[in-house]
Structure 1
Amino acid sequence: MRLLLMSDTHLPKRAKALPEPLLEALPEADVVVHAGDWVDTDTLDLLERRSRRLLGVYGNNDGPGLRARLPEIAYADLGGLRFGVIHETGPAPGREARCAARFPDLDVLVFGHSHIPWDTTAPGGLRLLNPGSPTDRRRQPHCTYLTAAVEAGRLTDVVLHRLPPR
């Protein structure tokens, strides 16, 4: 099972559209995960049309239209792994322990908000992934997204993709 993870698209505020390399990668994914801060419903509509399966949540910048269509926290069993998706996990210090305590039944937690790519494993084995942002790098050197695979109940091939400058 192939996954494509993104967050913090902030369209059309931070960019006019999703980057072409990201759009080209969509058909390769069995599941597309968006960890919130879409800002517009057009992006949600686009990903619903172009994804085989979409797993998404709303973020702190998402208004009533998105909040009516998306949960604050999403859960799914993907290839035998228990995934959770949330927008915000709080400050970086203590994140692993805090998330492991809050989500003891998950194998993988995908989050956003900071626009900072993150890949760590908490005590007890919870994998924490933040794909960064494909449209708003803020203080990061690149806009980014993640791909990964689930094989035989294991998360494999986690790759951070750097997007070309706009």
Structure 2
Amino acid sequence: MRLLLTSDTHLPTRAKRLPDELVRHMERADLVIHAGDWIDEDAYRLVEAHAPALLGVRGNNDSPWLCELLPEVARVELEGVRVGVVHETGPAHGRERRCELRFPDLDVLVFGHSHIPWDSTAPGGLRLLNPGSPTDRRRQPFCTFMTALATDGRLDDVRIHRIPRPDRQERAAGECLRR
């Protein structure tokens, strides 16, 4: 099962549309996982329109409509891999231990909020993945998202995809805004 992981799209506040590279990967995925901070209903509908299937949670900047629609935490089993999604996990220091205690029933936890790509494994085996943001790089050199494969109880081929900076794309696209 091909997965696309994204978070913190912040549409339309940080970008006017989704980056083309992200959309291409969404359309090839079997499931798109979004870890919150869509911002409004239009952003949710835009992601939904490109995703063959969608699993998402609400973030701390999302509209009341999205907060009604989406859970704080989502869980799903994909090809034998127990996956959870949440927007915020707190400070980086102590994250692995904190998340292991909060989510002892998971193999993988996808999260967002920081806009910083993250791929680590806690001592007990919980894998933590933050895809970063495809539209707001903050202090990072690139906007990012992730892809992965869930097969036979394993999560393999986890990749961080860098989205080219706007000075190397059409400015009108409004992708990956600099701060």
TM-score by length of 1: 0.98
Identity %: 66
1:72 deviates by 0.5
Q: Which residue of 2 aligns with 1:124?
A: 124
The 3-state SS of whatever aligns with 1:37 is coil
Matched, 1:21 2:12: no
Number of residue-to-residue matches in the alignment: 166
**Deviation larger for 101-110 or 18-27:** 18-27
Q: Which residue of 1 aligns with 2:93?
A: 93
Q: Deviations over 1:32-79 (max 9, x none)?
A: 000000002112112223212101000000120111111110010111
The 3-state SS of whatever aligns with 2:150 is strand
Structure 2 gaps, min length 5: 167-179
**Deviation larger for 44-53 or 6-15:** 44-53
Q: Which residue of 1 aligns with 2:79?
A: 79
Q: Which residue of 2 aligns with 1:51?
A: 51
CA distance in structure 2 between the aligned counterparts of 1:51 and 1:15, rounded to whole angstroms? 19
CA distance in structure 1 between the aligned counterparts of 2:73 and 2:37, rounded to whole angstroms? 13
Provide the alpha-carbon RMSD of the alignment: 0.7
CA distance in structure 2 between the aligned counterparts of 1:54 and 1:144, rounded to whole angstroms? 19
Matched, 1:138 2:122: no
The 3-state SS of whatever aligns with 2:55 is strand
Structure 1 gaps, min length 5: none
TM-score by length of 2: 0.91
**Deviation larger for 117-126 or 46-55:** 46-55
Letter in 2 for 1:88: E
